[in-house]
Structure 1
């Protein structure tokens, strides 16, 4: 079998059975996401990533950067402190409000945030670095190719390779749904790049991530994540189980995860 570009394109499209989160979902998550991204550990991790990009001579003080799916903007803000200009886009207006506020709090004048999804995004010029950090925006081959077209230098893309939650698996079982483990799009992206003569650097980061929510918030989040808002019976199953396992009205979810990071230079 000849493993060409079309083979991996078709494999990616046929294997992706995961529903992409909606604007409503990310608007709902914006406050919690902004807070979780502002922890001391998260801030230190971003500083290290930005310094690594500087050390590898991928970015410098004159670089322009595009951040696809920038969320609440913390990575864009950290990049803007060290570069000429950062443009972030996201389809969640609430996320962008936090992004603008975070940039203003850092005293930055060189960041721009645009309300758009990736399909409809247009800009007049390419960028020295285009990033999609843990962004669901890149979920088919055309999205990857558009990302590459906007780069006149490097691309950076990260995503979960493995992610498992015993709590989430139990909730799927209770609602008679199949628990779909983390979809590994990194495999297809890596191979697609190779078929195009692009040889990315691939690194992994493994760890355990804890999500901690008040019980009431957890009920709202998990009914959305399992897409059972329209099913009172399934939603009630989730609520009852969360009530049973809550400790002091708090739900803690432990996720075993491995992130993959790809960096490549455009030919």
Structure 2
């Protein structure tokens, strides 16, 4: 009887690559950076909600209890965004290299650093994508105590994950959506508007987890599920929905018009309201 290929690294690596090859969401790094430039301020606000803060506290508890984060730790934050993780890590005594290609995100991060008197020594900003970093040539192998990637598009295939592990001399942390993520919240709506299903994402927790497991690691794993009632103006709702579905399907002029009609007809007093449920998978493992 042929057993399940738990230790077959090539099997899980190929499975992940197949998911990526069959996904329509893959965009160039430049395109993705431009998308996030436009959403830097709104993203910073959304990730400072009480629910987001509670999830952050749980993850910091995981890092501290495992010894992955302590005073003096050197941390690489891949896809640092507006500093949601880098700043509290510095406040815990760590030194952070914040890798973030989006100029909009970096502007928000710099403002936060200035407001908290955080120096460039405490947070070193590297405005590049992880795909553009060569850990061998830049002498980054085993350079960091913790390599951290929270919901980051920088680590989304076996090669970028391998590179993250090479850069660590201690721990790696990764979180991503389990299930369709924000896109799944709009699937029923999109099907009603266009008659088409939104494709599932290749950026699902199952792929990095099974790959890391096949390498022999046994990471600490947790799942965070949260629901909230989203309330937005009609224009903000349209832009937000387009942001999450445009990677899954072609947005025709007709689909855009139908979306605008849908949001408008389902709004009350100029506000569009929707209940959303999201699941996030997180894992932490020691590489050395």
Q: What's the TM-score once normalised by structure 2's chain length?
A: 0.84
Contact map agreement 1:199 1:264 (CA 8 A) in 2: yes
Instruction: Note the aligned Cα RMSD (angstroms).
Output: 2.3
The farther-off stretch of 163-172 and 215-224 is: 163-172
- The one of 80, 87, 93 equivalent to 1:77 is 87
State the secondary structure of the residue aligned to 1:185.
coil
Q: Which residue in 1 is equivalent to 2:161?
A: 144
Change (3 A) 1:114 1:167: same
1:104 aligns with 2:114: yes
1:70–1:209 distance in 2 versus 1, CA, 3 Å: farther
What is residue 25 of structure 2 aligned with on the other side?
19
Give the distance between the partners of 2:127 and 2:191, measured in 1 at CA: 33
- Mapping of residues 1-267 of structure 1, within 5 Å: 1=2, 3=5, 4-16=8-20, 17-20=23-26, 22-109=32-119, 110-122=122-134, 123-125=138-140, 126-162=143-179, 163=181, 165-183=184-202, 185-227=204-246, 231-267=252-288
Are the counterparts in 2 of residues 60 and 83 from structure 1 also a CA contact under 8 Å? yes
Structure 2: gaps of 5 or more residues = none
Q: TM-score, normalised by structure 1?
A: 0.90
Q: Are the aligned partners of 1:155 and 1:264 in contact in 2 as well (CA < 8 Å)?
A: yes
Larger mean Cα displacement after TM superposition, 55-64 or 119-128: 119-128
- Distance, in Å, in 2 between the alignment partners of 1:208 and 1:265 is 31
Structure 1's unaligned 5+ residue stretches are none
1:217-262 deviations in Å (ceiling 9; x for gaps): 2222323333278622111010000000112212233222221111
CA distance in 2, matches of 1:138, 1:18: 18
Task: Tell me the matched-pair count.
Answer: 267
| Residues 210 and 13 of structure 1, relative CA distance in 2, 3 Å threshold | farther
- Alpha carbons of 1:52 and 1:190: their partners in 2 closer, same or farther (altered >3 Å)? closer
